[in-house]
Amino acid sequence: MFDRSLPPESLVAFAREVEAAGADDLWVVEDLRWAGSIASAATVLAATERLRVGIGIAPAPLRNPALLAMEFGTLARLYPGRLAAGIGHGAPQWMAQVGASVPHKLALLEETIGAVRAILRGEEVSVDGRAIHLEEIQLVHPPRQPPPVIAGVIGPRSLELAGRVADGTLVVEGRGPNDLPGIRALIEKGRAGAANPGPHELVIFTHLCIRADQAEVRAALAPVLAEYSQMLGVPEQEVFTVSGDAAQVAQRVRELWDAGVDSVVLRPVGDEPTRQFAEAAAAVRPAGSGD
């Protein structure tokens, strides 16, 4: 992940460094007052050769579905197969700050994801729903390879919704292998109700802190653990991170893969984020491993 705390002018160098270090994906974020995700994604795609770029996430209350489909479709035409398009509810306090609070959050997300996916497939879309209204919207230049639309969600009903309407689910930082069976069960419940369920990618964000000194790791992660303990409503010791020395980091990543995660997105904590990623990547995928 290109963390929101990093200045936008460092994005190109960051992207090229993590691509050289072996990253498959680079995810950019859209948090209020930081940077815009569409501009960030376009910049990374233009500056790199093979990275898939994930948008994590575009808030549905702020983004009209027709406009989202236009933006995603343009990037998918220019860079086929290299975009993962994340859409979510948006943080309630941020949506309130910009006058974008909505009464029907679940309906808005479901209708938005459904409309965006259909428009990206080249369909003419009309929706008169509980939350959105579209009339005869069709892209003139639909992408030949529509990008996966991934729902960034947390709550049980939203996870079920993701399984029903999205191409994948993005799991928030702090969740770990012990949480994933319950998360996957909710997603599968939603998929059981989908008309034509296809492949469903499971993506997880997780904080990375790689240091040999365990005291330094604990000090660096202290504010993260406090924040996510409060957000998730769990004790700090239950907030999952990918942290420790190189061997511990590799083991933690593999635990997520073994629990069924398809894409592990590392969010470095502290200084030298690209160095931390490079060390983690080397530990997880040692030379000649073929992993």
Token pair recorded at residue 63: 């983004």
Mean pLDDT of 139-158: 98
Would residue 285 count as lying in a domain? no
Would residue 176 count as lying in a domain? yes
Q: Which domain holds residue 209?
A: 8-220+244-271
Q: In which band, very low, low, confident or very high, does the pLDDT at 195 lie, cut at 50, 70 and 90?
A: confident
**Least confident window among 131-140, 192-201, 208-217, 245-254:** 192-201
Mean pLDDT of 105-113: 98
Would residue 227 count as lying in a domain? no
Round to whole Å and give the CA distance between 20 and 278: 9
Phi and psi angles of residue 21, each rounded to the nearest 5 degrees, phi first: -80, -5
Token pair recorded at residue 66: 């027709």
**Is beta strand 242-244 parallel, antiparallel or unpaired with respect to 263-268?**
unpaired
**Is beta strand 263-268 parallel, antiparallel or unpaired with respect to 25-28?**
unpaired
pLDDT of 197 strictly over 90: no
Would residue 283 count as lying in a domain? no
Q: How far is CA 222 from CA 219, 243, 270, 272, in A?
A: 5, 12, 11, 18
Q: What is the CATH number of the domain that holds 89?
A: 3.20.20.30
Q: How many domains does the chain have?
A: 1
pLDDT of 287 strictly over 70: no
pLDDT cut 90: percent of the chain above it = 96
Round to whole Å and give the CA distance between 90 and 81: 26
Enter the pTM of the model.
0.95
Would residue 129 count as lying in a domain? yes
Q: What is the pLDDT of residues 81-94, one digit of tens each?
A: 999 999 999 999 99
Q: Which residues contact 195 (CB under 8 A, 6 or more apart)?
A: none
pLDDT of 286 strictly over 90: no
Whether 65 contacts 115, CB under 8 Å: yes
285 vs 275: which has the higher pLDDT? 275
Whether 52 contacts 83, CB under 8 Å: yes
Round to whole Å and give the CA distance between 256 and 202: 10
Q: How far is CA 110 from CA 11, 34, 40, 264, in A?
A: 32, 26, 25, 25
Q: What is the pLDDT of residues 214-236, one digit of tens each?
A: 999 999 999 999 999 999 999 99
Round to whole Å and give the CA distance between 96 and 108: 15
Mean pLDDT of 112-123: 98
pLDDT on residue 10: 98
Q: What single letter denotes the amino acid at residue 67?
A: L
